[in-house]
């Protein structure tokens, strides 16, 4: 009842906690009798993740001998975060089961490459404290005609 004594109009339902939009749509479709929404196309997202991992791999492999591991680490971390975000969408039911497996494999590989990056960075830190590695990098920069400090 309102303050004037008249019955109040029905209020729209408020959200019930931290449900995602996809979950709300699924529940509404379940109780309304409508067919479920079709699964999203995973191709572009998978292609983006695989492209980032493919670009990062040479940087990660050449990180120790050439000292160029940072771009590979950034690209790998980006791929890991993208695959992790897509797995949240998989849990919401926006992708098919086959795509879910592909996203899980992409996250697994990006996690392995992140481990490689961390190991490479640790080895580089140790090697940078040695004279031969510093000489090697100086010689490499000299061959590329880059300014050496």
Q: What is the DSSP string of 55-111?
A: HHHHHHHSHHHHS-HHHHHHHHHHHHHHHHHHHHHHHTT-S-HHHHHHHHHHHHHHH
Given this model, what pLDDT does residue 96 score? 80
The CA distance from 12 to 8, in Å, is 12
The CA distance from 25 to 78, in Å, is 29
Asked if the model's pLDDT at residue 85 lies above 70, the reply is yes
The CA distance from 34 to 45, in Å, is 28
Q: Report the pLDDT averaged over residues 110-131.
A: 88
Residues 21-79: tens digit of each pLDDT: 666 666 666 676 655 555 677 788 899 999 999 999 999 888 877 777 889 999 999 99
CA dist list (Å): 95 to 20, 39, 91? 15, 5, 8
Average pLDDT, the chain: 79
Q: Which residues contact 66 (CB under 8 A, 6 or more apart)?
A: 137, 140
Asked if the model's pLDDT at residue 8 lies above 70, the reply is no
Q: Which of these, 47, 23, 63, lies nearest to 102 by C-alpha position?
A: 47
Given this model, what pLDDT does residue 65 score? 78
14 vs 42, higher pLDDT: 42
pTM over 0.85: no
Q: Which residues contact 114 (CB under 8 A, 6 or more apart)?
A: 73, 76, 77, 80
Residues 134-145: tens digit of each pLDDT: 787 788 777 767
Q: Which of these, 56, 45, 26, lies nearest to 100 by C-alpha position?
A: 45
Q: Where are the domains of the chain?
A: 40-143
């Amino acid at each position: 009842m309102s303050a004037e004594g008249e019955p109040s109009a029905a209020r729209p339902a408020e959200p019930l906690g931290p449900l995602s939009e996809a979950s709300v749509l699924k529940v509404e479709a379940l109780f309304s009798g409508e067919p479920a929404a079709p699964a999203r196309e995973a191709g572009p997202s998978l292609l983006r993740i695989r492209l980032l991992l493919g670009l990062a791999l040479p940087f990660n492999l050449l990180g120790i001998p050439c000292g160029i591991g940072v771009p590979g680490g950034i690209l790998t971390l980006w791929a890991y975060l993208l695959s992790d975000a897509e797995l949240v969408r998989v849990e919401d039911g926006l992708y098919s089961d086959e795509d879910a497996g592909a996203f899980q494999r992409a996250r697994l590989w990006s996690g392995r490459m992140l481990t490689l990056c961390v190991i490479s960075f640790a080895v580089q830190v140790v090697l940078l404290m040695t004279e031969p590695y510093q000489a090697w990098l100086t010689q490499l920069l000299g061959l590329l005609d880059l300014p050496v400090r």
